[in-house]
Amino acid sequence: MTQTFGENLLDAASTRGRLCVGIDPHESLLRAWGLPVDATGLAEFSRICVEAFADTVALVKPQVAFYERFGSRGFAVLEETIGTLRERGCLVVSDAKRGDIGSTMAGYATAWLDPGSPLSSDAVTVSPYLGFGSLQPVFDLAEEHGRGVFVLAATSNPEARVLQDQTDASGVSISQQIVNEAAALNAPHLAQHRAGNIGVVVGATLTDPPALSGLNGAILMPGVGTQGGTAQDVGTIAGDMAHLAFPNVSRAVLAQGPDVGNLRVAVSETAAEFPGFPRS
């Protein structure tokens, strides 16, 4: 039986810690690192990140927008970055936040999770505005290949609350509905005593987060570090899913670049706050 993405993550975390480090080559950071704002600067930025993260980080999250900005040349850099990180033993979640329906959603699923795709990643982030059910093609491909999907549920930006906190007739928030639907997809794996493939994105700075108990899937938690979320917040929000909670840190680490040694120290210090759990 195919190993699940959830189990792959738990394995990685047991030796590397529960940390997701972002690669966010936005314009101001390219400049701060003394790099040109073009595809060659993007390539050098990415090369430095790979060098700094590949041997020690459990989960690396390239932010697709910053590659897409440079069109096909940016995507060529992203392909190289994803491929090298995976060859060197990192799990890669491509932060694409894609969402569509039917054969179009299947196209995105193939782009990011098919083993033969040039952008093939261990996991991808997706957005459920078209309904959780519209994402079925990416869930299907994830189950087939033991890849992961992180569905946006309760995000850490303040503008999100007006939409994500709205409730259905039973008073269940949209964020909680997303978590519950992901949990339902992971339930067959729970019966096999293993973590499933379908994760969620839940901000570490939320005052009223959705209940995550029973998710049995990974939780990507942005908002740690520069945005104010702490290790204690992560523990409180994740509850009995803490072993599957991966805080995402990007700016606090990248601010230490471009020196590879300094980046490694920042990763190591941050990862120490989020140790993995031993694997039996």
Residue 63 in contact with its own copies, rule: CB under 8 A: yes
Residue 139 in contact with its own copies, rule: CB under 8 A: no
The single-letter code of the amino acid at 225 is G
Residue 117 in contact with its own copies, rule: CB under 8 A: yes
Q: From CA 154, how far away is CA 199, in angstroms rounded?
A: 12
Residues 14, 56, 84, 110: which binds its own copies (CB under 8 A)?
110
How is residue 65 written in tokens?
A: 């927008």
Residue 131 in contact with its own copies, rule: CB under 8 A: yes
Nearer to its own copies, 76 or 260 (CB): 76
Residue 162 in contact with its own copies, rule: CB under 8 A: yes
Options 12-20, 40-48, 92-100, 139-147: segment touching its own copies (CB under 8 A): 92-100
Question: Among 75, 95, 109, which Cα is nearest to 155's?
Answer: 95
Residue 161 in contact with its own copies, rule: CB under 8 A: yes
Question: Among 100, 105, 59, which Cα is nearest to 82's?
Answer: 59
**Min separation Cβ 177 and its own copies, Å:** 8
Catalytic residue among 47, 97, 161, 243: 97
CB 25 within 8 A of CB 46: yes
CB 23 within 8 A of CB 46: yes
CB atoms within 10 A of CB 194: 16
Residue 73 in contact with its own copies, rule: CB under 8 A: yes
Residues 6, 99, 247, 257: which binds its own copies (CB under 8 A)?
99
Residue 134 in contact with its own copies, rule: CB under 8 A: yes
**DSSP state string for 166-206:** -B-TTS-BHHHHHHHHHHHHHHHHHHTTS--SEEEEE-TT-
- Residue 238 in 3-state DSSP? helix
**Min separation Cβ 263 and its own copies, Å:** 20
Residue 60 in contact with its own copies, rule: CB under 8 A: no
**Residue count, binding to its own copies (CB under 8 A):** 56
Distance, C-alpha 242 to centroid of its chain: 16
Residues 68, 87, 259, 269: which binds its own copies (CB under 8 A)?
68
Nearer to its own copies, 106 or 265 (CB): 106
E-strand ranges in the chain read 20-23, 59-62, 91-98, 123-126, 148-154, 198-202, 219-221, 245-249
Residue 145 in contact with its own copies, rule: CB under 8 A: no
For 162, counting Cβ atoms within 10 Å of its Cβ (0-12 exposed, 13-18 middle, 19+ buried), the class is exposed
Question: Among 230, 28, 6, which Cα is nearest to 122's?
Answer: 6
Options 49-57, 104-112, 234-242, 254-262: segment touching its own copies (CB under 8 A): 104-112
Nearer to its own copies, 79 or 144 (CB): 79
Q: Tokens 């499933």 sit at which residue?
A: 196
Our answer to whether residue 61 is catalytic in this structure is no
Question: Among 204, 272, 215, which Cα is nearest to 244's?
Answer: 215
* Residues catalogued as catalytic: 97
Catalog residues that contact its own copies under the rule CB under 8 A.
Answer: 24, 26-28, 63, 65-66, 68-73, 75-76, 78-79, 97-108, 110-111, 117-119, 127-134, 152, 155, 157, 159-164, 166-168, 174, 177
